[in-house]
């Protein structure tokens, strides 16, 4: 599936974003006036739609250490109790409670006791579904990301910094503390300012590919993973449609 042709002179392709050849890690940053945090209505839609349209959006995490962000270039959809790979498949539990809540909130969990994975809750309140953010192109705070990712003095390529959901969470400093945060940053959600949110910076993505989800053992045949075709930061499996 290929959508959103690139605008001439701007966007991910012009910066190497999604290129099949050697590329820079930085994407051009549009006029700040074009930035806005995605509203709740963005998430309150079918999960597969949200999964695709999150590509090109920017995940931002503000901490005391600084701000780190990246352009979303790979996502996966998990939909309802009928999806064996979704945490809701066993019904409502204290752990998966955010999946059943309002859309536009973060669902962060510890995977196999090793990696924190961040999801954006989708669809209507009471309908458990979410989009797992699988990979980013590093944008802001790259030095901070490297400090978080590399603790033994070794170097890491910019394209590897946020490849994979566990790596991106570590690079951005996302842990269970961010679970249930309102990604829209609304004041009535009880948060004191925005710390974790997703912005639209009007970055077009070019060709979008779909394919089976990876890193799971059930329902692997469902083509519910979306990615920027050919991008070097996409998961190693099936980078191209």
The whole-angstrom separation of Cα 132 and Cα 47 is 10
Q: Burial letters for 138-158: b for 16+ Cβ neighbours within 10 Å, e otherwise?
A: bbbbbebbbebbeeeeeeeeb
Average pLDDT over residues 4-11: 35
Residue pointed to by tokens 């829209």:
184
The whole-angstrom separation of Cα 86 and Cα 128 is 9
pLDDT tens column, 130-169: 999 999 999 999 999 999 998 776 788 899 999 999 999 9
Average pLDDT over residues 77-101: 90
Residue-by-residue DSSP string for 85-104: TSGGGG---TTTHHHHS-TT
Confidence (pLDDT) at 150: 85
Confidence (pLDDT) at 21: 29
The whole-angstrom separation of Cα 127 and Cα 43 is 12
Q: What is the mean pLDDT of the chain?
A: 83
Confidence (pLDDT) at 33: 54
């Amino acid at each position: 599936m290929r959508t959103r042709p690139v605008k001439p002179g701007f966007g991910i392709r012009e910066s190497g974003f999604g290129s099949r050849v050697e590329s820079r890690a930085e994407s051009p940053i549009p006029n700040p006036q074009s930035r806005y945090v995605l509203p709740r209505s963005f998430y309150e839609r079918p999960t597969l739609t949200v999964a695709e349209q999150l590509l090109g959006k920017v995940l931002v995490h503000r901490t005391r250490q600084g701000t780190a962000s990246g352009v979303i270039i790979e996502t996966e959809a998990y939909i309802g109790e009928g999806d064996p790979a979704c945490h809701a498949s066993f019904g409502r539990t204290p752990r998966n409670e955010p999946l059943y809540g309002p859309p536009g909130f973060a669902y962060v969990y510890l995977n196999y006791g090793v990696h924190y994975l961040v999801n954006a809750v989708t669809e209507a309140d009471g309908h458990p579904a979410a989009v797992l953010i699988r990979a980013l192109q590093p944008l802001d705070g790259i030095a901070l990301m490297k400090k978080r990712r590399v603790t033994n003095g070794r170097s890491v390529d910019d394209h590897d910094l946020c490849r994979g959901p566990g790596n991106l969470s570590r690079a951005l400093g996302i842990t269970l503390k961010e679970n249930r945060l309102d990604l829209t940053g609304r004041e009535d959600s009880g948060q004191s300012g925005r710390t974790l949110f997703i912005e639209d910076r009007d970055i077009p993505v070019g060709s979008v590919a779909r394919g089976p989800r990876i890193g799971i053992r059930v329902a692997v045949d469902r083509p519910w993973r979306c990615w920027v075709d050919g991008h070097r930061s996409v998961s190693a499996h099936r980078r191209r449609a």
